[in-house]
């Protein structure tokens, strides 16, 4: 076996070797981070397009490494998905968001929903829906205030177990949102298998909306909104950074807005301040 191992090893270029090592280091670090609970959730406000009133938030994970500081999800979620570590991480996210929601409700803050991102990989656990329902009960979170975001690409590659799990949660009152819509190349017939409530237009469509002529990006964004409307979904515009984009989305019937224009994702206590100020942004 030694011989073969060495043989295979020879095929790795120096570069690949370094990448594999980095990967393994990250995986080990991530395992330790789960045990040490080195994660925190940031919350980005979602506002009503018409009024600018905060209606809810999307919970976004951050890894607080004792040495490296805050590490964004793009750096570790892909590894967590490949290694299956997304299952315990995703459970921590869900529980933490539920507990936070209950806290805000008890504080009398007017927040109608908190959205949590679920990775399609978490559905490899067949009893995921039961697990999530148990967590909601333990944390006394109201299912009607919870929203689950799943990317369009995961929906497109859906197994029937995912459809079933989501149907169970939907019956409980949990809202389902298709995230990054327009980037997943999913056939529209797939979408109809899911009890969807909300569609989030991907930032890539909104990014290129600029002052002036009705260009391709605007036409694409309009087409995407039209698909959502035809399915009776609420529409969320993501990654809104300026007035032009906001006005465009308002004019085209977008229901909710999320983006740096209003606020970046912030720690829970800062989000509380935004709510207490009743900040109409």
When asked if residue 73 is in the footprint of ligand C2E (CB under 6 A), the reply is yes
Residue closer to Ca ion by CB (options 161, 204) is 204
Task: Decide which of ligand C2E, Ca ion, none touches 77; Cβ closer than 5 to 8 Å per partner kind.
Answer: ligand C2E
User: Would you say 122 and 158 are in contact if contact means Cβ atoms under 8 Å apart?
Assistant: no
CA-wise closest residue to 187 among 163, 160, 152, 162: 152
Q: What's the sign of the alpha-carbon dihedral 198, 111, 72, 85?
A: negative
When asked if residue 255 is in the footprint of Ca ion (CB under 5 A), the reply is no
CA-wise closest residue to 92 among 13, 39, 137, 56: 39
CA-wise closest residue to 249 among 46, 64, 104: 46
Name residues contacting ligand C2E, limited to 222-281 (CB under 6 A): 239-241, 258-260, 265
Name residues contacting ligand C2E, limited to 100-139 (CB under 6 A): 117, 119
What DSSP designation does 279 have? -
Give the Cα separation of 156 and 158 in Å (integer): 5
Three-state SS annotation for 76-91? HHHHHHHHCCHHHHHH
When asked if residue 180 is in the footprint of ligand C2E (CB under 6 A), the reply is yes
Task: Decide which of ligand C2E, Ca ion, none touches 169; Cβ closer than 5 to 8 Å per partner kind.
Answer: none
Q: Most distant CA pair in the chain: distance in Å?
A: 68
When asked if residue 117 is in the footprint of Ca ion (CB under 5 A), the reply is yes
SS3 280: strand
H or E element at residue 197: none
Task: Decide which of Ca ion, ligand C2E, none touches 49; Cβ closer than 5 to 8 Å per partner kind.
Answer: none
User: What is the closest distance, in whole angstroms, from the C-beta atom of residue 200 to Ca ion in the complex?
Assistant: 5
When asked if residue 147 is in the footprint of Ca ion (CB under 5 A), the reply is no
When asked if residue 78 is in the footprint of ligand C2E (CB under 6 A), the reply is no
User: What is the closest distance, in whole angstroms, from the C-beta atom of residue 151 to Ca ion in the complex?
Assistant: 7
Task: Decide which of Ca ion, ligand C2E, none touches 260; Cβ closer than 5 to 8 Å per partner kind.
Answer: ligand C2E
Chain positions contacting Ca ion, by CB under 5 A: 117, 149, 179-180
Chain positions contacting ligand C2E, by CB under 6 A: 44, 60-61, 72-74, 77, 90, 93, 117, 119, 149, 179-180, 239-241, 258-260, 265
């Amino acid at each position: 076996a030694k011989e073969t191992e060495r043989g295979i090893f020879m095929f790795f270029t120096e570069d690949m070797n370094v990448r594999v090592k980095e990967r393994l280091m990250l995986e080990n670090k991530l395992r330790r981070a789960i045990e040490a609970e080195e994660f925190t959730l940031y919350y980005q406000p979602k506002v009503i397009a018409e009024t600018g009133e905060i209606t809810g938030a999307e919970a976004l994970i951050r890894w607080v490494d004792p040495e490296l500081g805050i590490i964004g999800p793009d750096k570790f979620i892909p590894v967590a998905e490949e290694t299956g570590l997304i299952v315990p991480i995703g459970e921590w996210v869900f529980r933490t968001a539920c507990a936070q929601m209950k806290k805000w409700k008890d504080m009398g803050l007017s927040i109608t929903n908190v959205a949590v991102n679920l990775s399609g990989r978490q559905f490899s656990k067949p009893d995921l829906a039961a697990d999530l329902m148990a967590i909601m009960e333990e944390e006394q979170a109201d299912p009607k205030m919870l929203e689950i975001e799943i990317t369009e690409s995961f929906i497109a590659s859906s197994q029937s177990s995912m459809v079933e799990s989501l149907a169970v949660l939907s019956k409980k009152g949990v809202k389902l949102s298709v995230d990054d819509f327009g980037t997943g190349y999913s056939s529209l017939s797939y979408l109809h298998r899911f009890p969807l409530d909300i569609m989030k237009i991907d930032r890539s469509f909104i990014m290129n909306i600029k002052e002036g002529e009705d260009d391709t990006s605007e036409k694409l964004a309009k087409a995407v909104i039209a698909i959502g409307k035809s399915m009776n979904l609420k529409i969320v515009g993501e990654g809104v950074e300026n007035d032009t984009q906001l006005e465009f989305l308002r004019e085209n019937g977008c229901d909710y807005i999320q983006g740096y224009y209003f606020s970046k994702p912030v720690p829970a206590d800062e989000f509380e301040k935004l709510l207490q100020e009743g900040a109409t942004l």
